[in-house]
Amino acid sequence: MKRKSRRHGRIVVLTGEGKGKSSSAFGMAFRAAGWGMQVRVIQFIKGKWKTGEQKAAERFANIDWHALGDGFTWDTQNPEQDRATTRRIWAFCLATLDEAQHDLV
């Protein structure tokens, strides 16, 4: 049987109330990294403080982690700044996809 030479991208949307969305996303990221894939993690709301997941990702040369944003949006006093920050991060996401250097974003 002839092996497919083309890879097709997938989009996974994780939404909803409660727990499990971040764990699912990080599980996919670490699984892909474990298989030698190039991974970029882009977090929108976390800001500058490090999470345990980000600290663990530092052990993988093939995980490129970007915690961006100004903190949690529900604590905001400046919704216009939140919108501007979101647009800036989204532009970074689109540039990452255009570069096509990562197997998982």
Domain ranges for the chain: 38-99
Per-residue pLDDT, 79 = 85
pTM for the model: 0.82
Instruction: State mean pLDDT over 31-48.
Output: 89
Taking CB atoms within 8 Å and a gap of at least 24, the contacts of 87-91 are 89/42, 89/44
pLDDT (tens digit, 9 = 90+) per residue, 40-82?
A: 999 887 667 788 999 999 999 999 999 988 876 666 788 888 8
Per-residue pLDDT, 45 = 74
pLDDT (tens digit, 9 = 90+) per residue, 79-96?
A: 888 889 889 999 999 999
Per-residue pLDDT, 7 = 66
- Phi/psi at 52 (nearest 5 deg)? -60, -35
